[in-house]
Amino acid sequence: MPPAERLLFNTKFKVMQKEKNNKQPKELSIQIINQNAAGIDVGDMFLSVAVPPGRDDVCVKDFGAFTCDLHAIAQWLKKCNVDTVAMECTGVYWKNIYSILIQHGFDVALVNARHTRNVSGRKTDEKDAQWIQRLHTCGLLSSCFLPDDVTQTVRTLVRQRRSLTQDSTRYILRMQKAMEMMNIKLHAVISNILGKTGTSIVEAIIAGERNPEKLLLFVRKGIKADKATLLKSLQANWRSEQLFLMEQSYRMYQFTQQEIKHCDLQIEQALQTFVAVNNDGLIEQITPLPKPRPTTKNKLAFDAYSYLHKIHGIDVTAIYGISEIAALEILAETGTNLSKWPTEKHFVSWLNLCPNNKISGGKLISSQMLKKKPNIASQAFRYAANTLQRSDHWLGDYFRRMKAKGGNKYAIVAASRKLATIYYKMVRYQQPFQPFDNDEYKNKFQRAKIAYLERTLQRLKSEVA
């Protein structure tokens, strides 16, 4: 290239580079989804509320947590032309403000605290409220699952019954400890110290009986231990303080059992309301249905099977391992409208019964489950799965196969996922439970295993050749 042309080329190139550098960089824009969005940082005694700038003299205000303050929040949000509000699910503090905002016609999104984590820096309640408001304006927050009012009533009562049942179990353990401190080995010779035989012996001891031979008179038929073993188990080192603890624990156990019965009556009334809501407000008499399986321990004081069948329109207790109590707990946590989860995979993910896959650079770097306490519905499915270990059907065979593959905990999660998938399809699509034939299921698995081994053999032969 001649020097003159080279100089002209270099001059044009420098001019083009200068024009390119002088161009203004493009700003990163985020689309605004919710124009009239507000954010609330919820606390025990104070609430910080943030609205879009320009709606009032200040865009962040602090309010108290009394009822009048909560109504003042709703009025201020209406004044600022707010349509939708986002808040964190902090303990139980969000429930009152959530209820009042719903009554005033706001669209309220209750979001997971993990989704609203702010960047590092100085943290205040006002900045948290502003950050929630910005995220909600851009549509970056999704609301948690919240049941309707009728389901919420059933949920509260079922959770209360669950707590009472756990308290009842604790009192039994305390009684057993007091008896152990006196070297009464009654729990070693009978399966339930508060069965018919155990209750009679405990009440006799509380009444003042100390002679083991007289206590043997309360032993009923069905106890497998012989008379000599029972006599030895009732020989004790009687201590006054342990007798007092045993008596007190027994009285608390009896009181808790009575409260469980009262709670069952309230649950039955709530289920009647549930049926009436699904029946256009008409309350009808529930016809008792024959139960396909016997009731389990801690049974309900009413015919829950008929109510569950009427509410779902299908028998969910036909699923292996799902008892009446488990079905009632799942209903209380999820309701009947499972379309809020688009597919069974979303439902299983909400129950935390699937891996939390993390992919980076096209590689799977982690597939561990989220380390969080499973909700009550997930626990119900896990308890149901745990009962499948020795069952003689295809789900029992599946559980044992998973246990051989990854251990008992792995098998419980895998079988729970299978039960949750079956439950989702039954309730949402009204599909009856159709179990596989056990022999056919085993043969299918064996054929699949043979095909896999044949493919592996062919691959090895090709590598050798």
- The tens digit of pLDDT for each residue in 296-349 reads 677 898 989 999 999 999 999 999 999 999 999 999 999 999 999 999 999 999
Please tell me the predicted confidence (pLDDT) of residue 27.
Answer: 47
Please tell me the predicted confidence (pLDDT) of residue 12.
Answer: 57
Instruction: State which of 137, 164, 194 marks the end of a domain.
Output: 137
451 in a structural domain: no
94 and 67, same domain (yes or no): yes
Find out whether 355 and 398 touch, Cβ atoms under 8 Å. no
Token pair, residue 175, equals 């009684």
428 and 350, same domain (yes or no): yes
224 in a structural domain: yes
Residue 352 has pLDDT above 80, yes or no: yes
Round to whole Å and give the CA distance between 289 and 241: 49
Round to whole Å and give the CA distance between 395 and 388: 7
Round to whole Å and give the CA distance between 290 and 310: 13
76 and 102, same domain (yes or no): yes
399 and 311, same domain (yes or no): yes
SS3 72: helix
Provide the CATH number for the domain around residue 117: 3.30.420.10
Round to whole Å and give the CA distance between 460 and 465: 9
Q: Give Cα 386 distance to the centre of its chain.
A: 17
Residue 440 has pLDDT above 80, yes or no: yes
Please tell me the predicted confidence (pLDDT) of residue 15.
Answer: 53
Find out whether 94 and 88 touch, Cβ atoms under 8 Å. yes
176 and 90, same domain (yes or no): no
Mean pLDDT to the nearest integer, 217-240: 89
Round to whole Å and give the CA distance between 73 and 87: 13
Q: Helix 240-278 and helix 196-207: axis angle, to 10°?
A: 140
Instruction: State which of 137, 161, 183 marks the end of a domain.
Output: 137
Cα separations in angstroms, 86 against 30, 35, 239, 266, 427 = 19, 13, 59, 33, 30
Instruction: State which of 109, 137, 165 marks the end of a domain.
Output: 137
390 in a structural domain: yes
Round to whole Å and give the CA distance between 236 and 449: 59
Find out whether 323 and 384 touch, Cβ atoms under 8 Å. yes
Q: Per-residue pLDDT tens for 134-170?
A: 999 998 888 888 888 899 999 999 999 999 999 999 9
125 in a structural domain: yes
442 in a structural domain: no
Residue 19 has pLDDT above 60, yes or no: no
449 in a structural domain: no
Please tell me the predicted confidence (pLDDT) of residue 367.
Answer: 79
Round to whole Å and give the CA distance between 414 and 355: 10
What number of residues does the chain have?
465
426 and 317, same domain (yes or no): yes
Residue 86 burial (C-beta neighbours within 10 Å; 0-12, 13-18, 19+): buried
Please tell me the predicted confidence (pLDDT) of residue 387.
Answer: 93
Angle at 44 between CA 43 and CA 48, to 5 degrees: 30
Please tell me the predicted confidence (pLDDT) of residue 452.
Answer: 93
273 in a structural domain: no
Could you give the dihedral angle defined by the CA atoms of residues 311, 313, 318 and 324, in that order, rounded to the nearest 10 degrees?
A: 10
57 and 125, same domain (yes or no): yes
439 in a structural domain: no
231 and 293, same domain (yes or no): no
Bigger pLDDT: 353 vs 115:
353
Position 172: which residue type? I
SS3 103: helix
Residues paired with 46 in a beta bridge: 64
Over its C-alpha atoms, the chain yields an Rg (Å, rounded) of 32
Could you give the dihedral angle defined by the CA atoms of residues 48, 53, 58 and 63, in that order, rounded to the nearest 10 degrees?
A: -20
Containing domain of residue 102, as a range? 37-137
Position 123: which residue type? K
Q: How many CA atoms lie within 13 A of 93 on its CB side?
A: 16
Domains identified in the chain, total number: 3
Residues paired with 64 in a beta bridge: 46
Please report where in the chains the tokens 């050749």 appear, as a residue: 465
Q: At 213, phi and psi to the nearest 5?
A: -65, -35
Round to whole Å and give the CA distance between 265 and 271: 10
Percent of the chain whose predicted confidence (pLDDT) is above 70: 89
Mean pLDDT to the nearest integer, 78-94: 91
Residues paired with 108 in a beta bridge: 85
Find out whether 64 and 45 touch, Cβ atoms under 8 Å. yes
Mean pLDDT to the nearest integer, 256-285: 86
251 and 369, same domain (yes or no): no
Q: Per-residue pLDDT tens for 164-204?
A: 999 999 999 999 999 999 999 988 888 888 888 999 999 99
Cα separations in angstroms, 177 against 171, 194, 244 = 10, 14, 12
Continuous segment of H or E residues that includes residue 100 = helix 94-103
Mean pLDDT to the nearest integer, 371-391: 92
78 and 110, same domain (yes or no): yes
430 and 309, same domain (yes or no): yes
179 and 258, same domain (yes or no): yes
